[in-house]
Amino acid sequence: MLEFISVTQVKSLLQNSSIPRKSEQVPLSEALGRITYSPVIAPIPVPLFDNSGMDGYAICFADAGDSRKVVHMVQAGASPSIEWEKGTAVRIFTGAPVPKGADTVIQQEWVTLVGDQIFFDLEKITLGMHVRKAGAQCHVGEEVIPENTLLTPGSIGLLASLGITTVEVIAKPKVGLILTGDEIVESGTELLPGQIFNSNGPAIQTYLTQLGLDLPTIWKVKDQKDEVVRVIREALNEVDVLLLTGGISVGDFDFVKPALEENGVDPVFYKVKQRPGKPLLVGSKGPQIVFALPGNPASVLSCFIQYVKPVLLTWMGDQGAWTRKIEVPLAETFTKKVPLTFFLKAKLENGKVHILPGQESFNLLPFGIADGLVEIPEELEAIDKGSLVIFYPW
């Protein structure tokens, strides 16, 4: 197990970790924002039949003359069985099947109708104009959406046009959350001396919802080693990714690390050269990933945003999860005295990023207005006003 490692090492380890790739079939109505597991293949040609691209008149281009007698009418949704008569025309509407024997549609604006006769300028007409041929969009067996593709409203519409009702996507991980601590009580109850309201649970739940994940199974456990061991064992039987908050430092009642080891979790690293969130442990058990986060609320959210979020997105097939950051000028000079990477709550205004007051690990107040985190690298002691810094927007 690695101990007290740099943020760069943490991200490298997590990016290079083996993440299971599973699939599931979901209804088209639930596929928005998911990523395809395998290529989507067209089950039918589109269009299924030759159809008109305009309101107008269907003719056979080879028939001589600049006039035709209109003998039939075909509207969208019809299934005509017309025996084509040489030298005639059929009134047709956009999307309607082109009758067998016709190969060209003249738009109605180019036609003069006199009784049941149409007249037109032959020089304007070309063979096949305004006829959408069967299979022009795609053929049976053609790949219409590649694997590892984010499904958008447009791609959902494409799949619906092919009659597809379900699609194979990369499966979501099942996430579990264990909240440790004798002091934690739920909002809405009376807060007694020594107690705090549960903020980590709601914050993590809403972050998971924002990522498109199902609400996690949640366990709450007191600071008793046997109970922590039991709850971790139960959770590992149910989830792909296990998150824990609290109990991971070196206090007399911090039992998470030994309890994980008793349950066969192999620690990959413990403690990170960062502020907030130094007592972070990441481990694995087979394909399962475990994040033992600190207990302080700001530390929990910072570690979740920096490490848990990109791992979960990568699990769901998002190949750009680790690259969502921008460089922006710092609004004011910042200095630090310790060689740690700082993740600072910040607000972006007028093209510059402002570091907010109240950066303590227990302090959630800056999260009320922050719209991202600024990263100050471990090796820097000061960054001047106007210098470019890395900013991670929410």
Whole-number pLDDT of residue 253: 80
| Helix or strand (DSSP H, E) at 288 | strand 288-293
Last residue of a domain, one of 283, 316, 349: 316
Whole-number pLDDT of residue 345: 98
Q: What share of the chain is helix, strand, coil (3-state, %, to 5)?
A: 20, 35, 45
Last residue of a domain, one of 316, 339, 361: 316
Total count of domains within the chain? 4
DSSP-assigned beta bridge partners for residue 282: 269, 291
Q: Express each pLDDT in 3-43 by its tens digit.
A: 999 999 999 999 999 899 999 999 999 999 999 999 999 99
Which domain does 339 fall in, by range?
326-393
Distance set, CA 55 to CA 92, 93, 98, 108, 122 (Å): 6, 4, 12, 6, 18
Are both 331 and 210 inside the same structural domain?
no
Are both 32 and 166 inside the same structural domain?
yes
The span from the CA of 41 to the CA of 49, in Å, is 19
Assess if residue 321 is contained within a domain.
Answer: no
CATH, residue 155: 3.90.105.10
Whole-number pLDDT of residue 216: 86
Are both 273 and 362 inside the same structural domain?
no
Whole-number pLDDT of residue 328: 98
Q: What is the pLDDT along the chain (394 residues), one digit of tens a residue?
A: 899 999 999 999 999 998 999 999 999 999 999 999 999 999 999 999 999 999 999 999 999 899 999 999 999 998 888 889 999 999 999 999 999 999 999 999 999 999 999 999 999 999 999 999 999 999 999 999 999 999 999 999 999 999 999 999 999 999 999 999 999 999 999 999 999 999 999 999 999 999 999 888 999 999 999 999 999 999 999 999 999 999 998 888 889 999 999 999 999 999 999 999 999 999 999 999 999 999 999 999 999 999 999 999 999 999 999 999 999 999 999 999 999 999 999 999 999 999 999 999 999 999 999 999 999 999 999 999 999 999 999 8
Distance from the first to the final alpha carbon of the chain: 31
Assess if residue 28 is contained within a domain.
Answer: yes
Whole-number pLDDT of residue 116: 96
Whole-number pLDDT of residue 252: 82
pTM of the model: 0.87
The span from the CA of 187 to the CA of 259, in Å, is 28
- Tokens at residue 294, please? 């600190």
Q: Which residue in 288, 292, 290, 289 sits closest to 300, CA to CA?
A: 292
Assess if residue 162 is contained within a domain.
Answer: yes
Are both 221 and 267 inside the same structural domain?
yes
Last residue of a domain, one of 84, 105, 132: 132
The span from the CA of 36 to the CA of 53, in Å, is 32
Are both 228 and 294 inside the same structural domain?
yes
Q: Express each pLDDT in 195-238 by its tens digit.
A: 999 999 999 999 999 999 988 899 999 999 999 999 999 999 99
Amino acid at 298: A
The span from the CA of 114 to the CA of 5, in Å, is 86
Written as one string, the DSSP assignment of 212-258 is TPPPPEEEEE-S-HHHHHHHHHHHHTT-SEEEEES--SSSTT--HHH
Residues 6+ apart with CB under 8 A from 286: none
Assess if residue 92 is contained within a domain.
Answer: yes
Are both 247 and 184 inside the same structural domain?
yes
Are both 78 and 213 inside the same structural domain?
no
Given a contact cutoff of 8 angstroms between Cβ atoms, the answer to whether 160 and 27 are in contact is no
Are both 294 and 156 inside the same structural domain?
no
Assess if residue 164 is contained within a domain.
Answer: yes
Are both 178 and 224 inside the same structural domain?
yes
Token pair 């040609």 is at which residue?
45
CATH, residue 301: 3.40.980.10
CATH, residue 348: 2.40.340.10
Given a contact cutoff of 8 angstroms between Cβ atoms, the answer to whether 83 and 47 are in contact is no
Are both 303 and 198 inside the same structural domain?
yes
Given a contact cutoff of 8 angstroms between Cβ atoms, the answer to whether 132 and 51 are in contact is yes
Are both 346 and 307 inside the same structural domain?
no
Residues 6+ apart with CB under 8 A from 133: 47, 50
Assess if residue 200 is contained within a domain.
Answer: yes
Assess if residue 102 is contained within a domain.
Answer: yes
The span from the CA of 302 to the CA of 304, in Å, is 5
CATH, residue 119: 2.170.190.11
Whole-number pLDDT of residue 249: 87
CA torsion sign for 299, 303, 304, 305 is positive
- Tokens at residue 184, please? 């934690």
Token pair 């960054």 is at which residue?
383
Whole-number pLDDT of residue 202: 95
Whole-number pLDDT of residue 85: 92
Are both 40 and 166 inside the same structural domain?
yes
C-alpha gyration radius of the chain: 32
